Structure 1
Amino acid sequence: MNLKGKFVLVPFPFTNLKATKLRPALVLYEGKEDVVVAFVSSRIDTFDPGTDVRIETSHPQFRGIGLKVPSIIKLTKIATLHKGLLIGVLGELPEDLVQEVNSKLCSNLRIGRD
Protein backbone atom coordinates (compact mmCIF):
# COMPACT_ATOMS: atom_id res chain seq x y z
CA MET A 1 0.00 0.00 0.00
CA ASN A 2 1.31 3.42 -0.93
CA LEU A 3 1.10 5.59 2.18
CA LYS A 4 2.45 8.85 0.75
CA GLY A 5 -0.24 11.54 0.98
CA LYS A 6 -2.34 9.51 3.42
CA PHE A 7 -3.44 10.56 6.88
CA VAL A 8 -2.47 7.93 9.44
CA LEU A 9 -2.94 7.50 13.17
CA VAL A 10 0.42 7.32 14.98
CA PRO A 11 1.98 7.82 18.41
CA PHE A 12 3.53 11.20 17.53
CA PRO A 13 6.53 12.19 19.69
CA PHE A 14 6.63 15.42 21.65
CA THR A 15 9.55 17.65 20.67
CA ASN A 16 11.38 16.78 23.91
CA LEU A 17 11.02 13.05 23.01
CA LYS A 18 9.88 12.23 26.56
CA ALA A 19 6.39 11.07 25.54
CA THR A 20 4.08 10.48 22.61
CA LYS A 21 0.43 11.19 21.91
CA LEU A 22 -1.81 9.22 19.57
CA ARG A 23 -2.79 11.59 16.79
CA PRO A 24 -3.26 11.95 13.05
CA ALA A 25 -0.27 12.69 10.85
CA LEU A 26 0.30 13.14 7.12
CA VAL A 27 2.76 10.76 5.43
CA LEU A 28 5.25 12.90 3.47
CA TYR A 29 7.62 10.08 2.49
CA GLU A 30 7.48 6.31 2.60
CA GLY A 31 10.65 4.28 2.78
CA LYS A 32 11.08 0.52 3.06
CA GLU A 33 10.68 0.40 6.86
CA ASP A 34 10.01 4.00 7.90
CA VAL A 35 7.73 6.90 7.07
CA VAL A 36 8.30 10.63 7.43
CA VAL A 37 5.18 12.28 8.81
CA ALA A 38 3.95 15.79 9.56
CA PHE A 39 1.99 16.58 12.71
CA VAL A 40 -1.73 17.35 12.35
CA SER A 41 -3.45 19.53 14.95
CA SER A 42 -7.04 20.57 15.56
CA ARG A 43 -5.77 23.70 17.35
CA ILE A 44 -6.47 25.97 14.40
CA ASP A 45 -5.68 29.01 16.57
CA THR A 46 -1.99 28.05 16.13
CA PHE A 47 -2.22 28.29 12.31
CA ASP A 48 0.80 29.95 10.68
CA PRO A 49 -0.01 30.78 7.04
CA GLY A 50 3.68 30.80 6.12
CA THR A 51 4.36 27.23 7.22
CA ASP A 52 1.08 25.38 7.84
CA VAL A 53 -1.71 24.02 5.64
CA ARG A 54 -5.28 24.51 6.83
CA ILE A 55 -7.99 21.90 6.24
CA GLU A 56 -11.57 23.13 6.57
CA THR A 57 -14.76 21.08 6.86
CA SER A 58 -16.04 23.10 3.89
CA HIS A 59 -13.44 21.50 1.58
CA PRO A 60 -15.39 19.50 -1.03
CA GLN A 61 -13.36 16.35 -0.27
CA PHE A 62 -13.28 16.72 3.53
CA ARG A 63 -15.02 13.37 4.16
CA GLY A 64 -12.31 11.48 2.27
CA ILE A 65 -9.57 13.17 4.28
CA GLY A 66 -10.56 11.19 7.37
CA LEU A 67 -10.29 13.98 9.93
CA LYS A 68 -13.24 14.83 12.16
CA VAL A 69 -12.73 18.55 12.68
CA PRO A 70 -11.00 21.49 10.97
CA SER A 71 -7.26 20.91 11.30
CA ILE A 72 -3.85 22.18 10.32
CA ILE A 73 -0.87 20.29 8.98
CA LYS A 74 2.15 21.58 10.93
CA LEU A 75 4.92 21.24 8.33
CA THR A 76 7.50 22.43 10.87
CA LYS A 77 6.77 19.39 13.09
CA ILE A 78 8.11 16.40 11.19
CA ALA A 79 9.18 12.97 12.48
CA THR A 80 10.53 9.71 11.06
CA LEU A 81 8.69 6.68 12.46
CA HIS A 82 8.89 2.94 11.89
CA LYS A 83 5.93 1.66 9.87
CA GLY A 84 5.15 -0.78 12.68
CA LEU A 85 4.02 2.19 14.79
CA LEU A 86 1.20 3.10 12.39
CA ILE A 87 -2.19 2.33 13.93
CA GLY A 88 -4.24 2.81 10.77
CA VAL A 89 -5.03 4.89 7.69
CA LEU A 90 -7.66 7.62 8.13
CA GLY A 91 -7.93 9.07 4.64
CA GLU A 92 -6.08 10.88 1.87
CA LEU A 93 -4.96 14.44 1.14
CA PRO A 94 -6.78 15.94 -1.89
CA GLU A 95 -4.66 17.02 -4.86
CA ASP A 96 -5.15 20.77 -4.33
CA LEU A 97 -3.82 20.45 -0.78
CA VAL A 98 -0.97 18.17 -1.98
CA GLN A 99 0.24 21.07 -4.10
CA GLU A 100 0.04 23.47 -1.14
CA VAL A 101 1.93 21.01 1.12
CA ASN A 102 4.66 20.54 -1.51
CA SER A 103 5.04 24.28 -2.02
CA LYS A 104 5.29 25.04 1.70
CA LEU A 105 7.65 22.12 2.35
CA CYS A 106 10.01 23.41 -0.34
CA SER A 107 9.85 26.89 1.14
CA ASN A 108 10.25 25.70 4.75
CA LEU A 109 13.14 23.33 4.08
CA ARG A 110 15.10 25.45 1.64
CA ILE A 111 18.75 25.63 2.66
CA GLY A 112 20.82 28.60 1.61
CA ARG A 113 20.63 32.31 1.50
CA ASP A 114 17.47 34.11 0.48
Structure 2
Amino acid sequence: MTKYKIVLVPFPFDDLSSNKVRPAVCLTNPITPKKHVVIAFITSKVLSTPLPTDIILDKSDSEFVLTGLRVSSTLRIHRLTTITTSIIKRELGQLSPKMQ
Protein backbone atom coordinates (compact mmCIF):
# COMPACT_ATOMS: atom_id res chain seq x y z
CA MET A 1 0.00 0.00 0.00
CA THR A 2 1.41 3.38 -0.94
CA LYS A 3 0.68 6.99 -0.22
CA TYR A 4 -2.41 8.40 -2.01
CA LYS A 5 -3.99 4.98 -2.61
CA ILE A 6 -7.73 4.77 -1.94
CA VAL A 7 -8.59 1.65 0.03
CA LEU A 8 -11.55 0.02 1.78
CA VAL A 9 -11.01 -0.33 5.53
CA PRO A 10 -13.06 -0.84 8.70
CA PHE A 11 -13.24 2.73 10.04
CA PRO A 12 -14.29 3.31 13.68
CA PHE A 13 -17.39 5.27 14.67
CA ASP A 14 -16.79 8.43 16.71
CA ASP A 15 -17.73 6.68 19.96
CA LEU A 16 -15.60 3.61 19.07
CA SER A 17 -18.64 1.37 19.63
CA SER A 18 -18.23 -0.29 16.24
CA ASN A 19 -16.88 0.30 12.76
CA LYS A 20 -18.00 0.35 9.16
CA VAL A 21 -16.07 -0.55 6.01
CA ARG A 22 -15.45 2.71 4.19
CA PRO A 23 -13.12 4.17 1.62
CA ALA A 24 -10.11 6.05 2.92
CA VAL A 25 -6.96 7.63 1.50
CA CYS A 26 -3.53 6.48 2.66
CA LEU A 27 -1.65 9.61 3.70
CA THR A 28 1.65 7.82 4.36
CA ASN A 29 3.57 4.91 2.98
CA PRO A 30 3.73 1.97 5.41
CA ILE A 31 5.79 2.80 8.50
CA THR A 32 7.06 0.70 11.41
CA PRO A 33 7.71 -3.05 11.25
CA LYS A 34 3.94 -3.64 11.56
CA LYS A 35 3.35 -1.60 8.38
CA HIS A 36 1.09 1.08 9.82
CA VAL A 37 -0.41 3.76 7.56
CA VAL A 38 -2.20 6.99 8.41
CA ILE A 39 -5.54 7.19 6.60
CA ALA A 40 -8.22 9.84 6.11
CA PHE A 41 -11.93 9.02 5.95
CA ILE A 42 -13.95 9.45 2.73
CA THR A 43 -17.72 9.94 2.74
CA SER A 44 -20.16 10.03 -0.17
CA LYS A 45 -21.89 13.00 1.48
CA VAL A 46 -20.93 16.27 -0.17
CA LEU A 47 -22.00 19.22 1.96
CA SER A 48 -23.19 22.43 0.29
CA THR A 49 -20.80 24.27 2.62
CA PRO A 50 -17.75 22.04 3.12
CA LEU A 51 -15.63 22.34 6.23
CA PRO A 52 -12.19 23.97 5.84
CA THR A 53 -10.65 20.50 6.19
CA ASP A 54 -12.85 18.88 3.51
CA ILE A 55 -11.58 18.13 0.01
CA ILE A 56 -14.28 17.43 -2.58
CA LEU A 57 -13.57 14.59 -5.00
CA ASP A 58 -15.88 15.60 -7.84
CA LYS A 59 -17.13 13.00 -10.32
CA SER A 60 -17.05 15.65 -13.07
CA ASP A 61 -13.25 15.91 -12.72
CA SER A 62 -11.57 14.16 -15.66
CA GLU A 63 -9.23 12.30 -13.27
CA PHE A 64 -12.00 11.13 -10.89
CA VAL A 65 -12.09 7.73 -12.59
CA LEU A 66 -8.65 6.97 -11.10
CA THR A 67 -10.12 7.04 -7.58
CA GLY A 68 -12.24 3.93 -8.05
CA LEU A 69 -15.09 5.72 -6.26
CA ARG A 70 -18.59 5.56 -7.75
CA VAL A 71 -19.92 8.97 -6.73
CA SER A 72 -18.62 12.42 -5.84
CA SER A 73 -17.25 12.23 -2.32
CA THR A 74 -15.63 14.24 0.45
CA LEU A 75 -12.17 13.52 1.80
CA ARG A 76 -12.32 14.49 5.49
CA ILE A 77 -8.80 15.46 6.47
CA HIS A 78 -9.86 15.99 10.11
CA ARG A 79 -10.97 12.34 10.36
CA LEU A 80 -7.66 10.48 10.65
CA THR A 81 -6.61 7.17 12.11
CA THR A 82 -3.61 4.85 11.95
CA ILE A 83 -4.11 1.24 10.89
CA THR A 84 -1.99 -1.74 10.01
CA THR A 85 -2.08 -2.61 6.30
CA SER A 86 -3.27 -6.13 7.18
CA ILE A 87 -6.83 -4.85 7.81
CA ILE A 88 -7.16 -3.22 4.38
CA LYS A 89 -9.95 -5.05 2.57
CA ARG A 90 -8.97 -3.97 -0.93
CA GLU A 91 -7.58 -1.17 -3.03
CA LEU A 92 -10.05 0.94 -5.03
CA GLY A 93 -7.78 3.37 -6.85
CA GLN A 94 -5.66 6.40 -6.13
CA LEU A 95 -5.66 10.17 -6.05
CA SER A 96 -4.31 11.70 -9.23
CA PRO A 97 -1.31 14.04 -8.91
CA LYS A 98 -3.73 16.96 -9.37
CA MET A 99 -5.91 15.72 -6.48
CA GLN A 100 -2.95 15.24 -4.16
Return the TM-score normalized by structure 1.
Answer: 0.79
Aligned length: 97
Offset of 1:96 from its aligned partner?
1.5
What is the RMSD computed on CA atoms of the aligned residues? 1.4
> Which residue type is aligned with residue 24 of structure 1?
P
What are structure 2's unaligned runs of at least 5 residues? none
Within a 5 Å distance, the mapping from 1:1-114 to structure 2 comes to 2-30=1-29, 31-32=31-32, 33-45=35-47, 48-98=50-100
Deviation, structure 1 residue 56: 0.8
- Partner of 2:98, secondary structure, is helix
Q: Distance in 2 between matches of 1:27 and 1:76?
A: 14
> Which runs of 4 or more aligned residues in structure 1 lie more than 6 Å from their structure 2 counterparts after TM superposition?
none
Q: Deviations 1:68-109 (Å, cap 9, x if unpaired)?
A: 0000000000000111100111001011110xxxxxxxxxxx
Q: Which runs of 5+ in 1 are unaligned?
A: 99-114
Moved more, 47-56 or 4-13: 47-56
% same residue = 33
- Equivalent residues of 1:47, 1:72 under 8 A apart: no
Aligned partners of 2:49 and 2:38: how far apart in 1? 21
For residue 48 of structure 1, report the CA deviation from its aligned partner: 2.2
Q: TM-score, normalised by structure 2?
A: 0.90
